[in-house]
């Protein structure tokens, strides 16, 4: 689903955000992308959904080389990618239903159909009673569920979630992870960026011994295929903090 080959992302006047990253996410995987603040997690996700280009290296998403995609073709690529943004990006003066249906409206789906599908998705995330509410009237956890519903309403092949539980308590964190896991069970490949600590995700990670292989900036931890609850266990990629200016490769 995602392949990165020697990917580097640098910004003028700053140390590189990513250096020589090699990564493979298989179709149907559930992946945690972890690391401390400033390690490049958000940057990596932005490269995947073509919010910005890599400085060097190759990125394949769904078999397509994103470096060779014309600007006008990027919206077509994004039709198969759902994104859960860290800052929600909900329209404050549109109802919950309209916010979710917007993902279908931009694709030209007829209004009646888009509202029906949005209603079904809101029911899946437990917000069928909030369809006519405005986002600012919702709690943080409810807003996050709206964002997830919007990201999934088009049934994307790939879901990218940037710190989806960063400001939530442990109970709400489990609720959000359960929604993401349900999407994964339905066939969506899920990539979740989160901080290095995985205490909140303890129930998702089996206690079995792990096997790790490390590259320049990335470590992959692969768990057995099923945990004690019978669910497919996640894969964890760990990003180290980017190089300092002095140690950046020439």
Burial level of 150, CB count in 10 A (0-12/13-18/19+)?
buried
Low-confidence ranges of the chain (pLDDT < 50): 199-200, 203, 205-218, 222-230, 243-250
Burial level of 197, CB count in 10 A (0-12/13-18/19+)?
exposed
Q: How confident is the model at residue 243, as a pLDDT?
A: 39
Pair 13, 245: CB distance under 8 Å: no
Pair 12, 218: CB distance under 8 Å: no
Output the 3-class SS for the chain.
Answer: CEEEEEEEECCCCCCCCEEEEEEEECCCCEEEEECCCCCCHHHHHHHHCCCCCCCEEEEEECCEEHHHCCHHHHHHHHCCEEEECCCCCCCCCCCHHHHHHHHHHCCCCCHHHHHHHHHHHHHHCCCHHHCCCCHHHCCHHHHHHHHHHHHHCCCCCEEEEECCCCCCCHHHHHHHHHHHHHHHHCCCEEEEECCCCCHHHHHHCCCCCCEEEECCCEEEEECCCECCCCCECCEEEEECCCCCCCCCCC
Q: Torsion angle, CA of 203/208/213/215, rounded to 10 degrees?
A: 20
User: What are phi and psi for residue 130, nearest 5 degrees?
Assistant: -115, 15
Pair 157, 80: CB distance under 8 Å: yes
Name the residue among 124, 120, 115 with its Cα closest to residue 97: 115
Q: How confident is the model at residue 199, as a pLDDT?
A: 43
- Model pLDDT for residues 191-210, shown as the tens digit of each residue: 988 875 554 455 454 433 23
Q: How confident is the model at residue 200, as a pLDDT?
A: 41
Name the residue among 228, 93, 78 with its Cα closest to residue 156: 78
Domains of the chain, first to last? 2-80+157-239 (3.40.50.300), 94-155 (no CATH)
User: What are phi and psi for residue 63, nearest 5 degrees?
Assistant: 85, -5
CA distance 228 to 204: 9
Please give the model's pTM, rounded to 2 decimal places: 0.81
User: What are phi and psi for residue 208, nearest 5 degrees?
Assistant: -65, 160
């Amino acid at each position: 689903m995602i392949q990165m080959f020697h990917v580097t992302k640098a910004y003028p006047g700053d140390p590189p955000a990513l250096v020589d990253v090699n990564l493979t996410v298989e179709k149907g995987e559930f992946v945690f992308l972890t690391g401390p603040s400033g390690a490049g997690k958000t940057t990596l996700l932005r490269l995947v959904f073509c919010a910005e280009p890599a400085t060097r290296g190759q990125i394949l998403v769904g078999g397509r080389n994103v470096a060779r995609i014309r600007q006008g073709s990027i919206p077509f690529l994004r039709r198969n990618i759902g994104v859960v943004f860290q800052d929600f990006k909900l329209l404050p003066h549109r109802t919950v239903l309209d916010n979710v249906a917007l993902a279908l409206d931009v694709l030209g789906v007829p209004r009646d159909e888009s509202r029906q599908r949005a209603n079904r998705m809101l029911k899946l995330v437990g917000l069928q009673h909030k369809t006519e509410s405005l986002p600012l009237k919702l709690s943080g956890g409810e807003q996050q569920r709206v964002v997830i519903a919007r990201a999934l309403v088009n049934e994307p092949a790939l879901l990218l979630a940037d710190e989806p539980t960063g400001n939530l308590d442990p109970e709400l964190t489990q609720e959000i992870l359960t929604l993401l896991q349900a999407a994964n069970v339905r066939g969506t490949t899920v990539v979740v960026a989160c901080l290095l600590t995985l205490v909140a995700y303890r129930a998702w990670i089996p206690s079995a011994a792990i096997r790790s292989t490390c590259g320049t900036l990335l470590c992959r931890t692969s768990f057995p295929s099923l945990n004690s609850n019978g669910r497919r266990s996640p894969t964890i990629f760990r990003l180290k903090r980017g190089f300092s200016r002095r140690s950046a490769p020439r």
